[in-house]
Amino acid sequence: MSFLGLSSNKARTSKKTGNAASLQKQYLLKEYADQTLGSGNLRLAVHLPEGEDLNEWLAVNTVDFFNQINMLYGTITEFCTPQDCPVMSAGPKYEYHWKDDTHKKPSRVSAPVYVDHLMSWVQSQLDNENIFPSKIGVEFPSNFKTIITDIFRRLFRVYAHIYATHFSIIVSLGEEAHLNTSFKHFILFVKEFDLIDQKELAPLADLIDSLLAQLKN
């Protein structure tokens, strides 16, 4: 499973390349996900298809959400600058500092720098054959779920920043419905597979409750 990212200041998308059997498998899972999403039933869309491998389903959806969030953030990059967003935050109570193998100590960086680090980091996970194997029959690592939860936990922060800081811009661009649908899908998925601790969702807890309530009506 090889992924290709675009430049850091543009919306990136990930694309797979690999053997034919692997590509066909990934394509069918993606087609299933798209069809269930198209039905308007978001709860159905997150369920593991009968007979399918959980790790394959998690992997395909990780790529899909990565692409969605990249594209959503890409629409507001000109408004999310180091001057306008000097820290990565989700409102005044929540600030995120960056840490990875290169940045050992959590660093306070601007929102665009944080998102750039984040997307590059996720891309590196997707490109790693030891984590996201591209060949049929090659097993996912035993800690795959742990890696996935870390990816989703951090991707949530981009949604949180967009909602807390740039929602008025999203509305002015006519992207509100797209953002809300993407976020509802994301939340239903992480809840279905227990990918993010409740405390991590706190910045958007009220919004999450409201969106999920709409699905019950």
Question: Going by C-beta distance under 8 Å and a sequence separation of 6 or more, which residues neighbour residue 35?
Answer: none
117 annotated as ligand-binding: no
Pairwise CA distance, residues 46 & 29, whole Å: 12
Distance, first Cα to last Cα, the chain = 40
Residue 91 is classified by DSSP as: S
DSSP line for 4-60:
----TTS---------HHHHHHHHHHHHHHHHHHHTT-HHHHHSPPTT--HHHHHHH
Lookup: tokens for 149:
């939860």
- Kind and range of the H or E run holding 70: helix 54-74
Pairwise CA distance, residues 161 & 115, whole Å: 10
Distance of CA 205 to the CA centre of its chain: 18
85 annotated as ligand-binding: yes
178 annotated as ligand-binding: no
Question: Going by C-beta distance under 8 Å and a sequence separation of 6 or more, which residues neighbour residue 17?
Answer: 2, 4, 23, 134
Residue with tokens 């193998």: 101
Mark the binding-site residues for Zn(2+), compressed into ranges: 80, 85, 161, 166
- Residue positions in the annotated binding site? 80, 85, 161, 166
